[in-house]
């Protein structure tokens, strides 16, 4: 299956923080033939071990969860209110279709409604909506009264191809999930590599929870955390420019940073620099502190329109990052050292 097709399938999968099973099942089915062992820990993190020469443990961390909502109340007309799972700007969900995954096992539909322009007055036109003024209309379901407080809500959208780009929900962080999956396949081309733990973490969007547990369990010699970052021409981080390697920040290991950038430069891999002057807001913040401390690198795939239903990512950035990491891991072995 082509890279963009797999990415679209990952994007379309439903996996809010704490409810990532559908995405994890897809990952496990896709990666099982390229790794030696797969476990899921108590927080449902999926850890896939690809055994190498056994001299170093390298862990590649990518989170799989996405932002979403929970039903918090429903009135007698079939209008519901919601609470966020992760950070969602209310402006981006106005007039969006959603799916409701109820605890009774059924999937239902809903619409985030907004007062029509014709019915607004001068005051309502100026007001920026928040969750107290937005409503989720679920009354189109014949059995809407079976929807309960605590049921899950996700945006109902399908990923699409746009030339060499893909647009869809949850590219944060399914783009990096795919890099991690492709890396396991790329490593098959190399005669040697360290033991590599491909880690697919849960609950990043609600506090880096999965990574806190998985990093303690593995205690690697090096952690490479991957997440997304903003396509921003003003900082020279752009889609199509390769992964953005964090530079200068306190949680970036300076020794491994030099090795990675040297390898990328010497082998003509595209990459970009991203300054991280403190906490990154990614799983790297938790991983670095695990055990006695773990040397950590942070690589980010540029995307547009983060935390909206129309996140855009470049397919080549994903493929080339997997190839870069495979070569870099080989370079860390005695056979690959220059």
Indicate which residues carry an active-site annotation.
Answer: 204
- Specify whether the CB–CB gap between 59 and 199 falls below 8 A: yes
Distance CA 176, CA 225 (A): 9
Q: DSSP string spanning 205-225?
A: TTTSHHHHHHHHHH--SEEEE
- The pair of three-digit structure tokens given for residue 206, joined into one six-digit string: 């609600």
Q: Is the bond into 127 cis (omega within 30 degrees of 0)? A: no
For residue 265, CA distances in Å to 260, 269, 328 come to: 9, 6, 11
Collapsing DSSP to helix, strand or coil, 14 comes out as: coil
Question: Residue 104: CB partners within 8 Å, gap ≥ 6?
Answer: 146, 148
Question: Residue 133: CB partners within 8 Å, gap ≥ 6?
Answer: 127
Helices (H) and strands (E) in the chain, counts: 8, 17
């Amino acid at each position: 299956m082509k890279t963009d097709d797999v990415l679209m399938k990952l994007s379309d999968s439903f996996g809010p923080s704490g409810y990532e099973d559908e995405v994890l099942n897809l990952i496990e089915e896709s990666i099982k033939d390229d790794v030696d062992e797969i476990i899921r820990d108590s927080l449902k993190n999926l850890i896939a071990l690809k055994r190498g020469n056994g001299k170093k443990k390298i862990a590649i961390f990518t989170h799989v969860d996405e932002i979403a909502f929970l039903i918090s109340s429903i009135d007698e007309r079939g209008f519901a209110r919601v609470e966020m799972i992760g950070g969602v700007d209310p402006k981006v969900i106005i007039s969006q279709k959603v799916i409701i995954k109820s605890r009774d096992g059924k999937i239902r539909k809903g619409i985030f409604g907004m007062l029509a322009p014709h019915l607004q007055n001068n005051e309502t036109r100026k007001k920026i909506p928040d969750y107290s003024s937005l409503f989720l209309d679920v009354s189109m379901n014949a059995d809407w009264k079976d929807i309960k407080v605590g049921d899950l809500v996700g945006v109902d959208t399908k990923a699409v191809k746009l030339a060499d780009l893909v647009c869809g929900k949850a590219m944060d962080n399914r783009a990096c999930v795919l890099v991690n999956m492709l890396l396991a396949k790329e490593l098959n081309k190399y005669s040697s590599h360290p033991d590599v733990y491909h880690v697919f973490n849960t609950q990043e969007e609600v506090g880096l929870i999965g990574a806190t547990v998985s990093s303690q369990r593995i205690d690697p010699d090096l952690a490479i955390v991957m997440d997304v970052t903003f396509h921003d021409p003003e900082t020279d981080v752009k889609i199509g420019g390769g992964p953005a390697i964090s530079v200068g920040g306190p949680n970036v290991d300076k020794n491994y940073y030099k090795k990675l950038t040297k390898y990328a430069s010497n082998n003509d891999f595209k990459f970009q620099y991203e300054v991280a002057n403190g906490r990154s807001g990614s799983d790297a913040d938790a991983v670095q502190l695990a055990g006695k401390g773990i040397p950590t690198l942070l690589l980010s795939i540029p995307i547009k329109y983060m935390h909206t239903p129309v996140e855009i990512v470049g397919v080549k950035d994903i493929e080339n990052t997997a190839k870069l990491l495979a070569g870099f891991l080989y370079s860390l072995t005695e056979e690959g050292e220059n």
